[in-house]
Amino acid sequence: MRKLMMILGLSLLSIMTWAQSKNTSVEVKDYREVDGKIILEMVVNGVMADFVLDLAGHNAILPEYVEKLNIDANVKGDFRYDTFQYKRVPVEKSVNIETISFGNSVFGNGVAAFVLKDEPYLRKLGVAGIVGGTLFRSVVLTIDSRRKKITMSNPYRPAYMKLDHRSNIEVVTGSGIVCPVELDGVSYSLLLDTWSDGMIVLNSADFAGFSGKDGNGMKKSVGYAGTDVAASSKFAEKCRFVKSDFTDVAVVENESLPRSVLGNGILKQGLVSIDYGKQKVYFQPFDLAEVKDEVTGGNEVKVEAGKLNPITREYFLEHVYDYRKSKEFVFKGDKPVVIDFWATWCGPCMRLIPELEKMAEKYKDQVIFLKVNADKEKELCGMFNVVALPTLFFIPVGGKPIIDVGATPEKYVEIIENQLLKK
pLDDT score of 99: 87
pLDDT score of 11: 40
Q: What is the pTM of this model?
A: 0.81
pLDDT score of 326: 79
Does position 10 have pLDDT exceeding 50, yes or no? no
Q: What is the pLDDT of residues 205-219, one digit of tens each?
A: 999 999 888 876 555
pLDDT score of 122: 94
Band of residue 104 on the pLDDT scale cut at 50, 70, 90: confident
- Taking residues 181-202, what's their average pLDDT? 95
Domain ranges of the chain: 25-151, 166-288, 308-420
CATH code matching the domain that covers 25-151, chosen among 3.30.9.10, 2.40.70.10, 3.40.50.970, 1.10.510.10? 2.40.70.10
- Taking residues 20-31, what's their average pLDDT? 76
* Whole-number Cα distances in Å, 400 to 47, 78, 249, 344, 379: 17, 35, 57, 27, 19
Q: What is the pLDDT of residues 78-90, one digit of tens each?
A: 888 899 999 989 9
* Cβ partners under 8 Å of residue 370, min gap 6: 303, 308, 309, 310, 311, 320, 337, 338, 339, 340
Does position 296 have pLDDT exceeding 80, yes or no? no
- Active-site annotation holder among 179, 239, 349, 381: 349
- Taking residues 372-384, what's their average pLDDT? 90
CATH architecture of 166-288: Beta Barrel (2.40)
Confirm if 173 and 56 have CB atoms less than 8 A apart: no
What is the enclosing helix (H) or strand (E) of 413? helix 409-415
pLDDT score of 15: 38
pLDDT score of 218: 59
pLDDT score of 6: 45
Does position 361 have pLDDT exceeding 80, yes or no? yes
- Provide the 10 A C-beta neighbour count for residue 300: 7
Closest CA to 329 of 272, 384, 374: 384
User: Does the annotation mark 349 as catalytic?
Assistant: yes
Does position 379 have pLDDT exceeding 80, yes or no? yes
CA distance 51 to 65: 11
Dihedral pair phi/psi, residue 137, rounded to 5°: -70, -20
pLDDT score of 23: 56
Does position 297 have pLDDT exceeding 60, yes or no? no
pLDDT score of 219: 55
- Taking residues 276-290, what's their average pLDDT? 96
Confirm if 107 and 380 have CB atoms less than 8 A apart: no
Band of residue 223 on the pLDDT scale cut at 50, 70, 90: low
Band of residue 148 on the pLDDT scale cut at 50, 70, 90: very high
Q: How big, in percent rounded to 5, are the helix, strand and coil portions of the chain?
A: 20, 35, 40
* Cβ partners under 8 Å of residue 179, min gap 6: 167, 169, 189, 190, 191, 192, 241, 262, 281
Q: What is the pLDDT of residues 229-246, one digit of tens each?
A: 557 889 999 999 999 999
Confirm if 167 and 196 have CB atoms less than 8 A apart: no
Does position 14 have pLDDT exceeding 50, yes or no? no
User: Does the annotation mark 346 as catalytic?
Assistant: yes
Q: What is the pLDDT of residues 242-264, one digit of tens each?
A: 999 999 999 999 888 899 999 99
Per residue in 225-257, is it b (16+ CB within 10 Å) or e — as a string? ebeeeebbbbbbeebbbbeeebeebbbbbbeeb
Give the percent of the chain with pLDDT over 70.
89
What is the enclosing helix (H) or strand (E) of 107? strand 106-116
* Whole-number Cα distances in Å, 273 to 150, 159, 262, 355, 403: 10, 11, 14, 45, 40
Burial of 5 (0-12, 13-18, 19+ CB in 10 A): exposed
CA distance 241 to 285: 11
Band of residue 16 on the pLDDT scale cut at 50, 70, 90: very low
The answer to whether 25-151 and 166-288 have equal CATH topology is yes
- Taking residues 286-308, what's their average pLDDT? 82
Mean pLDDT, the chain, whole residue set? 89
Does position 401 have pLDDT exceeding 90, yes or no? yes
- Taking residues 162-167, what's their average pLDDT? 96
Does position 9 have pLDDT exceeding 60, yes or no? no
- Taking residues 220-233, what's their average pLDDT? 66
The CATH superfamily of 308-420 is Glutaredoxin (3.40.30.10)
pLDDT score of 227: 60
Preceding amide of 155 cis, omega within 30: yes
- Provide the 10 A C-beta neighbour count for residue 411: 12
Residue 178 carries which side chain, given as an amino acid letter?
V
CA distance 340 to 234: 60
- Taking residues 291-300, what's their average pLDDT? 69
Confirm if 79 and 56 have CB atoms less than 8 A apart: no
- Taking residues 176-202, what's their average pLDDT? 95
SS3 22: helix
SS3 89: coil
> How far separated are the first and last CA of the chain, in Å rounded?
82
